[in-house]
Chain A
Amino acid sequence: MQVTKRSATTNATVMEVSGRLDAVTSPGLEKEIAAFFSGPARGLALDLGRVDYVSSAGLRVLLLAARKAKEGGVGFAVYGIQSQVLEVIRVSGLESLLGVVPGEAEALAAVEHGAKE
């Protein structure tokens, strides 16, 4: 599992995640998320385009990110999700809670909108 970050807009960061989000690798993402939200308040869009597997451990970290964003009053969205990962998110009923959108443009719009709410 790898994470790279870039500033996409003045208010939002894109975090590109790749690899597996399982019980072994998810704590790594959790640290990144925690570090991100302890810094200056910015919205977060998670690009999961290169994530090919997610388990309950991965979903918990994604939920944690959504919760921290809400608590911090910033926008949050996930996008670019592969079909097998999307299936796991859907079967768990977490699509709206995680702010799932198709692509980066929608994600950044959602993050922007989320911050205003």
Chain B
Amino acid sequence: MKALVSSVTVPCRLDSLAPLSAFVREQAQMMGFDERELSQVQLGVEEAVTNVIKHGLESNPDESFTVVLESSPAALTIRIREKGLPFDPARAPVYSPERADKDTSGLGMFLMRAAMDTVEYHNLGREGKETVLVKHLRNRRIDLLTRPGEPAAAEVPRVAELPGYAIRRARPEEAIEISQCAYRTYGYTYADYIYFPDRIVEYNASGHMVSVVAVTDDGAMMGHAALKLEDPGAKTAELGVAFVNPEFRGHGLLKQMTTLLVDHANSIGLTGLFGQAVTSHPASQKVIAGYGFVDCTLAVALSDSGRVFKAICGEAHERQTLLVSFLPLQRQRRVVHPTARHLDMVKRLYERLAVPFDIAGAGAQYSADPGPDESVRATKDQARNSAGIRVSACTDEGFAIARDQWKSYCRERTDAVFLYVNIEDPRCPGFTARCEELGFFFAGILPSGANGRDALVLQYLNNLNVDYDRLKLHSAEAEELARYVRSCDPNVT
């Protein structure tokens, strides 16, 4: 069930709009979008495309741009790629209905965002830029399919002995049970895709996710865990989406599923896995540490775990701080360039990870292959209302793009912005200092976290305060990291 991809190259003329719009509409209609959604998709495409024609390509009829449609069972993704004038969403005017009688600038972008589920701008370096529009198919959420009145996890008695079972890769037809299992166990999880069985199937087929299940011989779902990859070619993956049905807990199923996933990660040549554990209690931190993961980043206020839950139950939750830990697999020696300010902490984190590394001396040259990707990649996690910006090259241009992206996230009232700076770039110290002047502060390190290169992780909080005293951490090392992060946080008075 691979995503169907079609692409068209379109001349830079407004009269391309009608055939393009009809093409997109047909695709979306085949996928099952209703009339209202079809109209919204067309609106999103028109606003994005007119923006590209008028502003990006300055209505030059000799130019052209490419529109890529990716249709999957769960969503339609539309990518509009062109090599026109650089566009800075942070400097784009913001539409305001109060001023609409005099000034309607920004109305197109306003409507684009209203019509689509996600709108992102990607800077592709020399390849130009890309506007990405995503529209999800509705009415496929598991909580809408599950009967109410399911017993709460605490009320379910645990089985004394496990029945016969198998641990293996999940099958597409099991996606709905995975969703139900997640919903019954936690009611909500750290990302909302788990509520959509179609997305689980889709992510597994596309290589964005590797799902492993524990299933009884009778076919009952006992638990699930997965690797989550940013893209199918990524060198690291997140270990997560882990849950065991309450009645089967306490028998080591999670550990067995994790072992199978680590084996798989090794077999596909991943350089490591990372995990994220909540800091409201130390239980899951201990579990993940038990698998050999080492704490490396304190992502302050990263997760708003209540957001999805809130939609269902009307309950509000505070933002969660997450402890990110890393399990190195096949790692080559890296030369890293931290700022003098964070040198000791970075060194300690690398030593604890027990990966081969060298701290570069002053005046070191960039000897490493910069890799195929010199772009700045920015992604927003709508469910968490946080964003990540990954910077491969610590250049002036990279800084300008990252800064503008950060500004635009702030204007969208994104709560937290994380910056993954390539620490293997000798220019990393200067870059870090410039980001710290903007209000970013140290979060930790993440091996292979900056488009394949090791990352120094910085974080920015948009009008949020963190109560560091309430963090419940599982080890002295984690507490030391938290103290250090706190000492760097400019919001702490």
Contact = CB atoms under 8 A, between A and B. Distances in A.
A57 interface: yes
B95 to A, nearest CB: 8
A56 B108 CA distance: 5
B39 A84 contact: yes
B50 A23 contact: yes
A66 B101 contact: yes
Interface string A46-71: 00000011011101100100110000
Interface size of B as a range: 20 to 34
Q: Kindly name the residue among A53, A55, A59, A67 whose own CB sees the greatest number of chain B CB atoms within 10 A.
A: A55
Contacts of A91: 111, 114
B101 A92 contact: no
B108 A84 contact: no
Interface of B is mostly: helix
B100 A22 contact: no
Given A67-B101, A93-B97, A94-B100, A56 B111 contact: yes
B104 A84 contact: no
A56 B101 contact: no
B17 A22 contact: yes
A88 to B, nearest CB: 7
A35 interface: no
Interface of A: 22-24, 52-53, 55-57, 59-60, 63, 66-67, 83-84, 87-88, 91-94, 97
Given A52-B39, A55-B47, A92-B110, 15 more contacts: A22-B18, A23-B17, A24-B18, A53-B42, A63-B101, A67-B101, A84-B39, A88-B43, A88-B111, A91-B114, A92-B97, A93-B98, A93-B100, A94-B97, A97-B97
18 contacts: A22-B17, A24-B15, A53-B39, A53-B42, A55-B47, A56-B107, A57-B50, A60-B104, A60-B107, A63-B100, A84-B36, A91-B111, A92-B97, A92-B100, A93-B98, A93-B100, A97-B97, A97-B101
